[in-house]
Structure 1
Amino acid sequence: MDRLSLIGLLLGLIAIIGGQLLEGGRISSLLQFTAFLIVIGGTIGAVLLQSTLDTFMNGIRLARWIILPPALELEAQVKAVVNWSNTARRGGLLALETPLMGEKDPFVKRALQMLVDGAEPEAIRHTMELEIGAYEEKHRAAAKIWESAGGYAPTIGILGAVMGLIHVMENLSEPAKLGSGIAVAFVATIYGVGSANLFFLPISNKLKHLIAVEVKRREMVTEGLVAIAHGENPRIIESKLRGFLI
């Protein structure tokens, strides 16, 4: 579990709500269903319009990484590749069938299988780089829906504010209705700017970081297995892979 994400989320909410209370305001003043519907509903609609269903759903699924990120232990991956190189050096490439059977990562398993099957080093590199490219493109497009939401939400918040002010102008002769219109106007702006800067954009940036680390891990695995296929010394392979950790 990523505790830092939880702390950041809670700190942001506490700061805003705490500031409202310190100024003598009420929490209920920030709770406006109409403003929420305009901003969040409009933002989701805009994101759906620009995305395919697969990309949108993949972006929603990736959101769980904010709290439960994938295990991206680059140091452990370096050690695993070096162990494979020592195994291959002692018993040949066929000796890698044992770690192959126990490998759970589909990407690593496919790369190891090609190595065990005696594929040419450049064939392994080409195949794995194609897969890495496809992975990065798919997941970055999914992360971009959160970035797009962060761009649309403030604008739609302003739209909600204008709609609230229109409601106010239409009811100038009825003072009792002015309060709700003004509330929707200001709260819609808060929802738009707040959701973009507290949720959508941070989620997008966190996902992009995690995707970049995973791409680096896959590139590291590819480089290591190609080096094993070339018969390079395990110590040289380790030195080469540690360059990815800088």
Structure 2
Amino acid sequence: MDPATLIGLVVGFAGVLVLMFFEGTHLSAILLPGPLAIVFVGTIGAAIAGGTMGDVVHAVKSMPKAFTAKAPKRGTTIETIIQLSDRARREGLLALEDAAQEVEDEFLRDGLMAAIDGTDPEDLRVLLEDRIDTKRSQDRVAAGFFTSMGGYAPTIGIIGTVISLVHVLENLSDVASLGPMIAAAFVATLWGILSANLIWLPIGTRLKRISDLECAQMEISLEGLLALQAGANPRTLGERLRSLVPAAELGESAKPERAA
């Protein structure tokens, strides 16, 4: 689990609480049922209206991924491909059938099995590229759902504030209550802006980032499989694949060996 999202949200909300403490504002002043209801329910409703029910289901299922997903280890994938390539050069492609069953990466395993089955290299490329494009498209839908919520929330908050201000104007004769009523009216705007920037937009951005990393790993697997199928030199293949990944991500164990 990569805790970046959880840590970021905790830090963000902690900043809000610290400000409230120094301003002398009690937490109950912003935890008002009405503003919370219109902001969160209204935002979710607007996001649902902007897509399909399939989009909603996919987005809800993807939400935990924003908190629990681990960044894929591309260096590990590269080392696996190099080992498979070395064995294929020595024993032939068919010798990898048993090894393929032990590969944990589903995309790499399926692609390797297709190569072992004798799939034409061009057909294999098209097949794997289509899978990458499909995944990227699905992930974009989930990320876009939460990003759109981040766009709707501030406006929904303003709507809530306007509704509350209408109520304030209806009670101008009650001078003693004007201050608290006006303060409560702006709570909806606060939650609209706060939820957009500390909940929905970070989740959408996180899902997109994880998707980019996963698709990048799949593209490395794709290039590695095609080179493996073509009988590429394992050392040359390793250097080529490593050049596609930032050195800091590879780690010492994944760096190519240098001749003495």
- Specify the alignment match of 2:58 in structure 1: 58
Where structure 2 has 5 or more consecutive residues not aligned to the other structure, the ranges are 247-260
Instruction: Find the aligned partners of 1:116 and 1:41 in 2 and give their Cα distance.
Output: 52
Instruction: Find the aligned partners of 2:134 and 2:55 in 1 and give their Cα distance.
Output: 13
- CA RMSD, aligned part only? 1.5
Shift of 1:3: 2.5
Query: What percentage of residue pairs aligned between the two structures are identical?
Result: 38
Instruction: Find the aligned partners of 1:54 and 1:104 in 2 and give their Cα distance.
Output: 29
AA of the residue aligned to 1:118: G
AA of the residue aligned to 1:23: E
- Specify the alignment match of 1:242 in structure 2: 242
* Structure-to-structure mapping, 1:7-22, within 5 angstroms: 7-22=7-22
Instruction: Find the aligned partners of 1:245 and 1:3 in 2 and give their Cα distance.
Output: 22
Where structure 1 has 5 or more consecutive residues not aligned to the other structure, the ranges are none
AA of the residue aligned to 1:129: E
Shift of 1:178: 4.1
AA of the residue aligned to 1:201: L
- Tell me if structure 2 keeps the 8 A contact 1:111–1:124: yes
Q: CA 1:184–1:208 in structure 2 vs 1: closer, same or farther (change >3 Å)?
A: same
Instruction: Find the aligned partners of 2:67 and 2:208 in 1 and give their Cα distance.
Output: 14
- Specify the alignment match of 1:136 in structure 2: 136
Instruction: Find the aligned partners of 1:242 and 1:210 in 2 and give their Cα distance.
Output: 20
**Number of aligned positions between the proteins:** 246
Shift of 1:109: 2.1
Residues 181-212 of structure 1 deviation map (CA, whole Å, 9 limit, x = unaligned): 42442110110000011111111111111100
- Specify the alignment match of 2:233 in structure 1: 233
- Specify the alignment match of 2:31 in structure 1: 31
- Specify the alignment match of 1:118 in structure 2: 118
Which shifted more, 167-176 or 88-97? 167-176
Instruction: Find the aligned partners of 1:178 and 1:159 in 2 and give their Cα distance.
Output: 19
Write 1 or 2 for the structure with the bigger share of helix: 1
1:48 aligns with 2:82: no
Instruction: Find the aligned partners of 1:176 and 1:95 in 2 and give their Cα distance.
Output: 85
- Tell me if structure 1 keeps the 8 A contact 2:5–2:206: no
Residues 53-110 of structure 1 deviation map (CA, whole Å, 9 limit, x = unaligned): 2222221222212221145000000001111101111111111111211234332222
Instruction: Find the aligned partners of 1:184 and 1:48 in 2 and give their Cα distance.
Output: 28
Residues 113-156 of structure 1 deviation map (CA, whole Å, 9 limit, x = unaligned): 11110112111111000110011001111111110000000011
* Structure-to-structure mapping, 1:144-159, within 5 angstroms: 144-159=144-159
